[in-house]
Structure 1
């Protein structure tokens, strides 16, 4: 019989105490996943996995060590604790090593309001296969699609439980359903591909298979005849499906780990205007039906909705307890953790202020420039913010799409790019990062 995760975490804490740890925290996860893939009307792959993983962090003074395992026998727990304690005694001192105190713990945890898991059994594999077949058929029905690369459906659940020697105990369960399609047009050196996919906590919220396949096919066909754009300085419009990457670079730069190391291009930017006036970036960890929502962070601190940037001005870093201590600040309840490493800061759900114009309105504003719909590669200088990425999309002339584009590079500096962005009004509200299409007024393009 499967042991409750809270029993496993308590057993790990007991083993750590007996092995000589001054303090410890434990994490246990139990998960299952089912994935189906089809190609050419035939089942290509069917996989199912499940398992339990546990992790233990022990602290001896200002020293710490982490160990993990997928074996949950009592003998393994004893060995894990002994090894972790031995490792901690040899580890260097770290002034950030600490746990949340009882008075800081998350108390009011309305898990039902977050709707992190659906009240339904895992779907039969035949149901997922049927959804994938329908999505593939819809993609192939689009005129100009030569074949699909891969079409798949998936479903998974994960339980998580955390316990600390300071007294925090808490856990929750998540579910996730997904459906995606990759379509191809043309052949040989003229082949182009594109995709569409959807992932939700509740299967009922997924886009219909016909929509997934059709959008993948239409996107692929729109890329026929792609060529390189001209070189020079032009405005660049980031489509909504990839615009969140710019916010991702911003979040990475204000992550406490990078700030502590002094390796961030925003290390001295607290209180600085980073976005245009009127734009804010709000963290919303309590939004329902989202994979990144959580009632408490990986150190047991309560999460809450609050601004990261307000009216364009940076108000706080993304911190866990360790990075906060090193900066002389308080944790922002952004600790995340796996079973094999200590907590580290990470941002969850964020929402960027939308504008009033549509993506087409911004295309009209830009006149001539590049609409980016996908990207490859990344060269980001973490200390200067210099930015260079491979891009695909469409060349825009007189505010209208002229032809598809591939094999070009866009470059700039993130500080300048973010300070001059113009948002559209097309952000999808069900995503973890709610970010609309973003127009950057000027970037360097290397194409022909």
Structure 2
């Protein structure tokens, strides 16, 4: 099915909603196929395939709304969904902020052709994915110091999405995703250390060779042999490019309209204030080609466009859908996202942080002595104050050079202070949805040995 082939499902849901007594409605259909293969010790370990169509309907009766979803697309099911949704909406509490977009505000872009998100080749068969996974595993095991590969795999998915609403919007797009990953282990018993690497692309031709994925995972793992705890104290920290987007993700979460409308964000008073260094900007890029976070329109049919979330260090606005925008007295930023069973809520896809001039090595040299974080586990973050604490592992750096691998430590600080002090490197991978380089952060507290 292409997204145009599932369009009749959304139209049928809207018709059923109108007949059931809804004042307004929107409907979404998602058709998906996914294959996931894993190997272990040169043999097939796991093979999973899923496919099907999910449908969702949101109805509004006055200022009340309800959502229902199903995976059965029989006409009788659509009728029953609409009747149930309208009955639920009539019992729901009133919300003056709900409602569809005005017709003249809707996106003129109604498909994803310009975004080049779809690999037009044949869907890969499971044998091809298994071969890729075996190649990654073999490449990792060939590296001296690797005791085992705990997981190696390959995956593929194809999704088609169509959205329609009673305000006249109808549009859809498709996306494919190819991926390869590998997790390697060095050492034995309590001395085991592991690391991983993976690559994911919309187009198979862009995908990194499986042997490179496996070799990179193994090299990262071997570097971690003999890890120990770092010293305790206040030190600068470099977030490696593979984890730095998580730090920026905390800022994106804090500036999400849902958190702001609830008053539960540490950034609630920072609109128009400096949140990053003055030479840095954070830009949303929803139309970047061949990038999984791209989308031609949002889940309310509004246009998506490039937006400076932070410009020259200053926070310019919140991430909003229609409802949160109305609560805050602001227009939607075209950031509504949704699944089949829930109403829209603000979400964000592709972002890019201004790159610096330094390589990661030069950034470590500038840091001098401190911690290079390459992996993080768990988190304790106070959403209201921005107090931050996370488990970390990586490498201890002395005099600008990596001295030894470290594990079992925590880093703590306050996100407001941390983000205002960041210094970026120039090593971001530009094909990722979040293009964020390695980041140097001053003045964190490290709890180690």
TM-score range, shorter chain: over 0.9
Residues 141 and 149 of structure 2 are in contact (CA less than 8 Å); yes or no, is this contact kept in structure 1?
yes
CA deviation profile, 1:36-87 (whole Å, cap 9, x unmatched): 1101111111111100000000001111000000001111111111111111
Matched, 1:244 2:245: yes
Q: 1:67 — aligned with what?
A: 68
Counterparts of residues 340-419 of structure 1 (less than 5 Å):
340-419=341-420
Q: CA deviation at 1:369?
A: 0.3
> What residue number does 1:230 align with?
231
Deviation at 1:136, TM superposition (A): 0.5
Secondary structure of the structure 2 residue equivalent to 1:4: helix
Q: Cα distance, 1:423 vs. partner?
A: 0.3
CA distance in 1, matches of 2:425, 2:102: 43
Residue 273 of structure 1 is matched in structure 2 by 274
Alpha-carbon distance in 2 for matches of 1:422, 1:286: 27
**Cα shift at 1:109:** 4.6
Counterpart in the other structure of 2:87? 86
Match for residue 96 of structure 1?
97
Q: In the alignment, what sits opposite 1:216?
A: 217
SS state of the match for residue 150, structure 1?
Answer: strand
Match of 1:322 in 2: 323
TM-score for the superposition, normalised by structure 1: 0.99
User: Are the aligned partners of 2:25 and 2:166 in contact in 1 as well (CA < 8 Å)?
Assistant: yes
SS at match of 1:436: coil
1:439 maps to which residue? 440
Please state how far the C-alpha of 1:113 moved relative to its aligned partner. 2.0
After superposition, residues 114-129 of structure 1 pair within 5 angstroms as: 114-129=115-130
1:134 aligned partner: 135
Partner of 2:313: 312
Match of 1:284 in 2: 285
Deviates more, 1:91-100 or 1:160-169: 91-100
Deviates more, 1:332-341 or 1:116-125: 116-125
What's the CA shift string for 1:353-396, capped at 9, x where partnerless? 00001111111111110000000001110000000000000000
CA shift digits 1:210-235 (9 cap, x unpaired):
11000100111111111101110000
Contact in 1 for aligned 2:111/2:173 (Cα 8 Å): no
TM-score, length basis structure 2:
0.99
Measured in 2, the distance between the counterparts of 1:362 and 1:222 equals 19
What are the within-5 Å matches in structure 2 for residues 138-287 of structure 1?
138-287=139-288
1:36-51 matches, cutoff 5 A: 36-51=37-52
CA distance in 1 between partners of 2:232 and 2:387 (Å): 19
Distance 1:48 1:260 in 2: 40
Q: SS at the partner of 1:287?
A: coil
Asked if 1:11 is matched to 2:12, the reply is: yes
CA distance in 1, matches of 2:442, 2:329: 38
Tell me the SS of whatever aligns to 2:291: coil
Task: Report the CA distance between 1:110 and its aligned residue.
Answer: 6.3
In structure 1, the residue corresponding to 2:149 is in which secondary structure? strand
Name the SS of the counterpart of 1:269 in structure 2: coil
| Paired positions, count | 448
Contact 2:111 2:171 in 1 (8 A): no
The residue matched to 1:46 in structure 2 has which SS? strand
SS of match in other structure, 2:384: coil
Counterparts of 1:432 and 1:42 in 2: how far apart (Å)? Answer: 33
**After superposition, what is the alpha-carbon deviation per residue over 1:18-51, rounded to whole angstroms, capped at 9, x for unaligned?**
1111100000000000111101111111111100
List gaps (5 residues or longer) in structure 1: none
Cα distance in 2 between the residues matched to 1:416 and 1:406: 25
